[in-house]
A and B are shown apart, each in its own frame.
Chain A
């Protein structure tokens, strides 16, 4: 381990405007010493991949509140991998329990559901990153 802070890109893909959760996670991670690259709303998968590459980020955090997670989260994993980027994808938001297994199967590293504590957010992002390096 080095002293370099973990760099994480946080974004919402597409139309969904529910950004309360993403902002919350951004502040939790910032206060825990992470370097947060906050892209905010209306991003595309391609744009997020480009930012991860340019910023040499260690992780991607997506937040979804509208049942698109089954399409968009696996797409993000696939796009990162085809760009040669082996960074974990962390998904937060409203994800029904029965969707968790298929998402993990598709390569999503961690799913943070409603009510996750700040400590759990920090710990799971840290673990997801360190388990790869």
Chain B
């Protein structure tokens, strides 16, 4: 029978691919000594289109997921100290959190920045701060993740300019910049310019990195914030993948071939508390992305079809009541992320419902991942839940719900997902759908139909007075303000002015890539806020219509 021989071919192709893959030097057997196979059940197997069962034939047998913990605080010098410690301990990946003014494209001396400078991440005003942040670090040998969106092109330009100063070829730079503006209008709300000019900046960066920085990931399409803002699992998945399709359509419209950039797109999902729903979501994500990339966008390179993703446990699920029990929540969410085939994972710290994590709490969060990786045995077998009637049904159901949302956006956009996403931002569809789901959940909790342990049931045992929270030294803000004033004092003002004028000219012409002029401006020590203000003269500023 044809089906049988096809199945045999799948199995043989998987076996061949598996046999070619180097494995970790560990015993793939249970604690009791029972040897286990790398995969069970039928095809398509892990590493085979449409990749429902995983993006690699051997999954975690070859390489565990990356345990990437997000951190950043204070001045660039403080964070530099933390980076060097990570590198000394054998880490190769640096992950940068920026403070709120930096994320919003404003300088530390902006009137709204008071009390925010260096609080939730590092403050970057000029290239001088970037020099401090990466002092004595070889940019050619580390991989850097930068979580920033609205002004991502400016931070990227600073990183490129710094590499040039250090004689590191920009082609050698490796890392990821989040640069996902669409979810900002939908959920996280850290936007600057209106959607269309923002998409232009993103497309500029995709083109620039595709041409000059082959090891860089120019967009990390993120559902995490959509979920945190209140969406359900299917909405998180559908809105995120729709945003991914929108970036693909924008880059194709800018004249690029899909296989020239799609292999460098990556994703970022939430792992929430409903265990099997989350696993179904991760499996559906891979299948939908692969199918759409191949069928709709004509990808030929298999790498364009792989939905590679980072996962973070659900910050919003953490309770301020009895915070210690969050350790258990995080462990279960992390396990779902691993069973769902994540490429990297951040586990939240138990004290994050109250403040940024303390060092002890962050250590417990990392140890949780290590227990999953090294003690539970789940890393021995790829997609261990594949073939479970419930998990396969859940995967199909989440996919079906996501496809309903794609149909809606497709219709809204008159046949274009990109236009559908713009329309959904304009008419409040995303914000409204997310708020409705969030409100539905809160009402269920309020009515006692949904139990949140420690909040509406099992409430004994909370000891608020014992809490030890991270506090940021207020001196950080004063130091950063002085630093910014010194830089402004020392620079050549006429050079700043002419570089900003050139940027404005380039921005006004949609056929010109804005990245080279942005690099020139940061080299002249123009501040992030000055560059944003210059671009606002061409692009305008986005103001959200306030809908409750």
- CA A26 to CA B547, docked complex, whole Å: 10
B548 touches A38 (CB 8 A): yes
- CA A10 to CA B100, docked complex, whole Å: 21
The closest CB in chain A to the CB of B447 belongs to A118
- Contacts of B354 on A, CB cut-off 8 Å? 94, 96
B228 touches A94 (CB 8 A): no
Binds B, one of A14-22, A52-60, A101-109: A14-22
The closest CB in chain B to the CB of A113 belongs to B320
B119, B230, B455, B469: the one contacting A96 at CB < 8 Å is B469
B438 touches A20 (CB 8 A): yes
CB within 8 Å of A: which of B71-127? 100-101, 103-104, 106, 112-116, 119-120
- Contacts of B353 on A, CB cut-off 8 Å? 94, 114
A66 touches B120 (CB 8 A): yes
- Contacts of A39 on B, CB cut-off 8 Å? 546
Chain B, interface residues (CB within 8 Å), range = 35 or more
- CA A67 to CA B137, docked complex, whole Å: 31
What per-residue 1/0 map shows which CB atoms of A21-43 lie under 8 Å from chain B? Answer: 00110111010000010111110
B548 touches A17 (CB 8 A): no
- Contacts of A118 on B, CB cut-off 8 Å? 442-443, 446
A96 touches B544 (CB 8 A): no
With A94-B353, A96-B467 known to touch, is A15 a contact of B446 (CB < 8 Å)?
no
The closest CB in chain B to the CB of A16 belongs to B100
A15 touches B442 (CB 8 A): no
Classify the interface of chain B: helix, strand, loop or mixed: loop
With A30-B548, A38-B546 known to touch, is A66 a contact of B188 (CB < 8 Å)?
no
B100, B189, B452: the one contacting A66 at CB < 8 Å is B100
Report the minimum CB–CB distance from B239 to chain A (whole Å): 15
B112, B113, B446, B546: the one contacting A40 at CB < 8 Å is B546
A97 touches B548 (CB 8 A): no
With A113-B320, A115-B319 known to touch, is A24 a contact of B442 (CB < 8 Å)?
yes
A26, A70, A96, A117: the one contacting B548 at CB < 8 Å is A26
A27 touches B115 (CB 8 A): no
- Contacts of B100 on A, CB cut-off 8 Å? 15-16, 66
A66 touches B439 (CB 8 A): no
A67 touches B119 (CB 8 A): yes
What per-residue 1/0 map shows which CB atoms of A93-133 lie under 8 Å from chain B? Answer: 01011000000000000000111011100000000000000
- Contacts of A24 on B, CB cut-off 8 Å? 438-439, 442
- CA A78 to CA B111, docked complex, whole Å: 18
- Contacts of A97 on B, CB cut-off 8 Å? 464-465, 467
B324 contacts A by Cβ under 8 Å: no
A71 contacts B by Cβ under 8 Å: yes
B113, B443, B464, B544: the one contacting A41 at CB < 8 Å is B544
What per-residue 1/0 map shows which CB atoms of B400-415 lie under 8 Å from chain A? Answer: 0000000000000000
- Contacts of A42 on B, CB cut-off 8 Å? 543-544
Interface CB pairs A-B, < 8 A, 8: A15-B103, A17-B188, A17-B189, A23-B230, A39-B546, A67-B119, A71-B115, A118-B446
A contact residues vs B (CB 8 Å cutoff):
10, 14-17, 19-20, 23-24, 26-28, 30, 36, 38-42, 66-68, 70-72, 94, 96-97, 113-115, 117-119
